[in-house]
Chain A
Amino acid sequence: MTDDTTPMTDGGTDEQARTDGGPPATVPPDDETPTWSERKEHTQGLAQLTYQYFERSRREDEDLRTESTYVERDVLGFPTWPHETLRNLAITSFFVGMIILVSAILPPHFGDPANPGSTPAIILPDWYLYWSFGLLKLDPLNPDLAVLGGNIVMSNELLGIVAHGIIFGVITLVPFLNKGSARRPVEQPFWAAVGAAGVTLSFTLAALAIQNFFPFQLELIVSLTFLLPVVAGVLTYAVLKTMREGYMYDLNRRYYMLRPPK
């Protein structure tokens, strides 16, 4: 074997002929990499706080992993790949087929050209905006909101916009109001009831948007718009409470089965 410093036949060495800069001067051994706590000592202020927190969070993670005795409650998330992704691809590719099939069977309608001079009898957006359109038809409520000597507080249009703001605002607040680890609706009948009321409200608001199709008085429709969601909420609550009894019974069956049969 020759090494880099052995003279070659032309008198030079490989070392001299080298064009790649040579091997790195020093290779830092692994144990020279500073540990978290060493780095923490070298830093100060916010950076130090960050390292302190990282260390705590790491330790917590490790403790949770080593001490966990059961799989169920303490798993925070399941891997996206491959379980979720593969199932989703299977189901969604079926639905792409459905989109194409439905498109072939039910081609979209096409109306008359725009005419700024003639307002159509029925103005409607696509179905998914009916609820929003319903919110713009809350003007029968407006006089009831009067405070200042019978003057309405805001124009009817503004009422509709404020209603949109309230709905988006409430939905945004949900994660900050409902905390805890419960996941199934039976575990939290109240929040499931709120959800059911919300879904019903979106339907009743849509119905309000197409109020001309209903042969009732407008007042009745407006009342139903807000009454039906409450009814749906109460029903959901009652059903889930009842289901929960059975659910708890299952969980507690061991307790009931304690006495040995004769």
Chain B
Amino acid sequence: MSLKKQDEMDHNAWLKTQDLTAIETVFLTTLIWLDKRLRIVDYLELLETMYYRANLQMPKSHTEQYDLDNKFWYWYPLYSLGSLSIIAYLVAAVTGALLGFYYAPSTAGAAAQGDPTAAYDSLVAIMTDVQFGFMLRSIHRWSAQFMVAAVFLHMLRVYFTGSYKEPREVNWVLGIVLIGLTLLFGFSGYVLPWKQLSFWAAQIGVEMALATPLVGEWAAQLLFGGFTLGQATLVRMYILHVFVLPFVVTGLIALHVGIVWVQGIAEPH
């Protein structure tokens, strides 16, 4: 049977039979126009479902919903620390991408020992020449500090509420990997300005790597590009900070939160 155009499908004719105000007519015409092209009715339906879910459940507090009555758990706000880590991470990612436009990972330009290098100069330029550059760097630094603090406190919250117990051991171990990578993020970022403390912090890093038996020299080569610090070190720290770690950490956070989503959050009872 071939489809014939039927009256029901003539939306414009239907519009004419309705007694509508101007606003209603414009609204419906736009809606029909958009729906014919983008099938938005389906998506509106999804939105509507979400709206009702949120609105039907929001006014009920968690304690009411689960009949926990008088057992208000005053650690409740501390359960946001995981999300705070993510948000601070996102802020750092955005500001970091903007800083990356102006930063140069290069030790060139120092005529004598202790002269400013290209990397150092690019940071000075960010702070003095770039519009809002100082603020950008400030936000990047502070969001990183907030993230690390939030991750530490999040770990303590998980510990003291016993949330790491079965079936959440995997997430605990994943969390330890994440906190290690977060610290590495901070460390590699600390080296990038190539100021005195950057250099000597990296120096301690190399010495620690070299003191490790078996894998030490290999690790020093891989992470620091050799046993003495120089251009290779800076570039490796840069690639670690802006390429490797962002991908790895973002992926692991997604996995971590995905597992939380599947398992539900372990509220204390």
- Residues of A at under 8 Å CB distance from B? 2-4, 14, 71-73, 75-80, 82-89, 91-93, 95-96, 98-100, 102-104, 106-108, 110-120, 123-129, 132-133, 136, 155, 157-158, 160-161, 168, 171-172, 174-176, 178-185, 188, 191-192, 195, 199
Cα A102 to Cα B68 in complex, Å, equals 38
Which residues in window 112-137 of B have CB below 8 A to A? Answer: 113-117, 120, 123-124, 127, 134-135, 137
Q: Per a CB cutoff under 8 Å, which of A2, A73, A115, A199 touches B156? A: A199
Fill in one digit per residue for B69-109: 1 if any A CB lies within 8 Å of its CB, else 0: 00000001101101110111001000000000000000100
CB-CB under 8 A for A132 and B68, given A113-B195, A116-B113 = no
Cα A202 to Cα B254 in complex, Å, equals 28
B211 pairs with A180, CB closer than 8 A: no
Cα A117 to Cα B168 in complex, Å, equals 50
Residues of A near B261 (CB, < 8 A) are 80
The winner among A93, A172, A174, A182 for most chain B CB atoms within 10 A is A174
Q: Which residue of B lies closest to A86 (CB)?
A: B58
CB-CB under 8 A for A100 and B164, given A113-B194, A158-B211, A199-B156 = no
Cα A242 to Cα B205 in complex, Å, equals 45
For the complex formed, measure the closest distance between the CB of B151 and the CB atoms of chain A, giving whole angstroms: 9
Listed by A's residue number, 29 A-B pairs whose Cβ atoms lie within 8 Å are: A2-B1, A71-B67, A72-B269, A76-B264, A79-B264, A85-B83, A87-B76, A88-B80, A93-B87, A95-B87, A95-B146, A99-B88, A99-B91, A103-B139, A103-B141, A106-B138, A114-B114, A114-B196, A118-B114, A123-B197, A125-B190, A125-B197, A129-B183, A168-B180, A174-B159, A175-B165, A175-B172, A175-B173, A180-B165
How many Cβ-Cβ contacts under 8 Å join chain A to chain B? 226
B80 pairs with A92, CB closer than 8 A: yes
Residues of B near A183 (CB, < 8 A) are 161-163, 266, 268-269
The winner among A99, A108, A118 for most chain B CB atoms within 10 A is A99
Chain B residues touching A, majority SS: helix
A179 pairs with B165, CB closer than 8 A: yes
A113 pairs with B142, CB closer than 8 A: no
CB-CB under 8 A for A113 and B211, given A76-B266, A107-B138, A119-B200 = no
The winner among B77, B196, B201 for most chain A CB atoms within 10 A is B196
Residues of A near B2 (CB, < 8 A) are 14
Say if the beta carbon of B207 comes within 8 Å of chain A.
Answer: yes
CB-CB under 8 A for A99 and B143, given A72-B269, A128-B152 = yes
A178 pairs with B138, CB closer than 8 A: no
Q: Per a CB cutoff under 8 Å, which of B88, B124, B260 touches A80? A: B260
Residues of B near A188 (CB, < 8 A) are 162
Cα A160 to Cα B53 in complex, Å, equals 53
A175 pairs with B164, CB closer than 8 A: yes
How many B residues are at the interface, by size bracket? Answer: 35 or more
Residues of B near A180 (CB, < 8 A) are 165
Say if the beta carbon of B9 comes within 8 Å of chain A.
Answer: no
B156 pairs with A78, CB closer than 8 A: no
Cα A158 to Cα B209 in complex, Å, equals 9
A120 pairs with B186, CB closer than 8 A: no
CB-CB under 8 A for A100 and B156, given A113-B195, A123-B204 = no
Q: Which residue of A lies closest to B173 (CB)?
A: A172
Apart from the given pairs A108-B142, A113-B114, A114-B107, 13 other A-B contacts in the complex at a CB distance below 8 Å: A76-B167, A78-B267, A87-B79, A91-B77, A96-B87, A103-B142, A111-B196, A113-B115, A120-B200, A126-B145, A157-B208, A158-B213, A174-B172
The winner among A88, A114, A125, A192 for most chain B CB atoms within 10 A is A114
Residues of A near B11 (CB, < 8 A) are none
Q: Per a CB cutoff under 8 Å, which of A91, A103, A176, A178 touches B80? A: A91
